[in-house]
């Protein structure tokens, strides 16, 4: 191969190399930009969808609290209860503070309090072990007039409701003033009702919301720490966070606090990452498109460069070499 042919090959190789690299870099940059934009959007959708499921779970939990409050109102706004707070009739206790009566109302605990916070009568029954329990110190410590459990019903004739952790288990708790059946006072005391959040109740929450729900203790190591410190993502009354578990599952966490704002437990849900898998499929199509576009673009440019630039340049170079060899400057190029 002579110098002429070597020059032509070198020129062609350099031009084509520059074109190929340029096309690949531009196509790669565009593909990466599009892929990231799509992935960011899909990740936001994934978080939004799971956030809405957490919101539904929170609503279902709040419905359980409202259900307890409705049941409590049937007991607190009752002439028999109102009279009992005046005379302390033990026949009322025998007829109502028993396993059957409380079980029919799905109540584990009933506590009748004087306005001062003194206990007039109480019943705490463990339906799992079939035995009576004494009121735990974690509960009786709140039996004083300034405590929200007592203050709200007595002063505002309203209701105090939420969660408490009793005997190492979470319990839904509500308190109401004891009034007549007509809802008239003055209030003669406070009635506190409680219902343990057992695994069966958690399972019912899952059935109502059609979610895979698991209850975790507040100090469980699998709970992301950001749930305690990050801004709330959906609702001012919800502490939630969403975290991918792996490429197959994504988990959402709902923090439940007690009446005093202390963490009690966390409800966890998990769902398949269908949106993430959809993103992977889109990414695959993007890269296949990238390869196809690069191949077509490079082939097209090579044809045009060969026809419009490289071939004329090569012919020009040959003509110049011919003039140089002949030494005849009148030769037409």
Task: State the Cα–Cα distance between residues 331 and 318, nearest whole angstrom.
Answer: 13
In sign, the C-alpha dihedral spanning 216, 222, 224, 228 is positive
Which one has a higher pLDDT value, 243 or 57?
Answer: 57
Task: State the Cα–Cα distance between residues 191 and 111, nearest whole angstrom.
Answer: 6
Q: 214: how many CB neighbours lie within 10 A of its CB?
A: 17
Token pair recorded at residue 87: 């005379």
Half-sphere exposure of 193 (CA within 13 A, CB side): 25
Fold of the CATH domain 65-196: Beta-Lactamase (3.30.450)
Confidence at 277, pLDDT banded by 50, 70, 90: low
- pLDDT at site 310: 57
In sign, the C-alpha dihedral spanning 164, 166, 172, 174 is negative
26-30: which pairs have CB atoms within 8 A and are 24 or more residues apart?
27/290, 27/293, 27/294, 27/297, 28/290
Share of the chain above pLDDT 90, in %: 21
Confidence at 150, pLDDT banded by 50, 70, 90: confident
pTM: 0.72
Task: State the Cα–Cα distance between residues 244 and 247, nearest whole angstrom.
Answer: 7
Token pair recorded at residue 193: 């009702």
- pLDDT at site 233: 43
**CB-based contact 173:162 (threshold 8 Å):** yes
Least confident of 9-18, 145-154, 310-319: 310-319
- pLDDT (tens digit per residue) in 57-112: 999 999 999 999 999 999 999 999 999 999 888 899 999 998 889 888 899 999 99
């Amino acid at each position: 191969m002579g110098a002429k042919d070597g020059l032509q090959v070198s020129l062609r190789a350099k031009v084509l190399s520059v074109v190929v690299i340029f096309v690949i870099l531009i196509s790669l940059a565009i593909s990466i930009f599009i892929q990231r934009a799509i992935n960011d959007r899909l990740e936001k959708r994934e978080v939004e969808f799971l956030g809405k499921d957490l919101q539904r779970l929170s609503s279902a939990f709040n419905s359980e609290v409202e259900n307890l409050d409705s049941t409590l109102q049937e007991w607190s706004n009752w002439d028999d209860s109102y009279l009992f707070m005046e005379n302390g009739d033990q026949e009322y206790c025998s007829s109502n503070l028993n396993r059957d009566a409380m079980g029919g109302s799905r109540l584990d605990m009933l506590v009748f309090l004087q306005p001062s916070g003194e206990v007039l009568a109480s019943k705490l029954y463990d339906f799992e072990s079939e035995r009576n329990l004494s009121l735990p110190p974690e509960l009786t410590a709140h039996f004083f007039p300034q405590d929200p459990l007592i203050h709200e019903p007595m002063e505002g004739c309203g209701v105090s409701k939420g969660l408490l952790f009793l005997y190492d288990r979470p319990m839904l708790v509500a308190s109401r003033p004891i009034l007549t059946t007509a809802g008239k006072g003055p209030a003669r005391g406070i009635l506190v009702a409680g219902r343990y959040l057992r695994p069966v109740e958690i399972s019912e929450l899952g059935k109502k919301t059609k979610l895979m729900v698991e209850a975790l203790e507040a100090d469980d190591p699998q709970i992301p720490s950001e749930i305690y410190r990050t801004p709330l993502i959906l609702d001012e009354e919800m502490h939630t966070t969403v975290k991918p578990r792996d490429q197959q599952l994504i988990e959402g966490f709902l923090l439940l606090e007690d009446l005093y704002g202390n963490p009690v437990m966390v409800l966890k849900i998990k769902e398949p990452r269908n949106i993430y898998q959809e993103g992977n499929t889109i990414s695959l199509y993007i890269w296949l498109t990238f390869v196809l576009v690069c191949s077509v673009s490079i082939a097209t440019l090579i044809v045009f460069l060969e026809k419009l630039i490289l071939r004329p340049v090569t012919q020009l170079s040959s003509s110049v070499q011919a003039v140089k060899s002949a030494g005849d400057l009148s030769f037409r190029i």
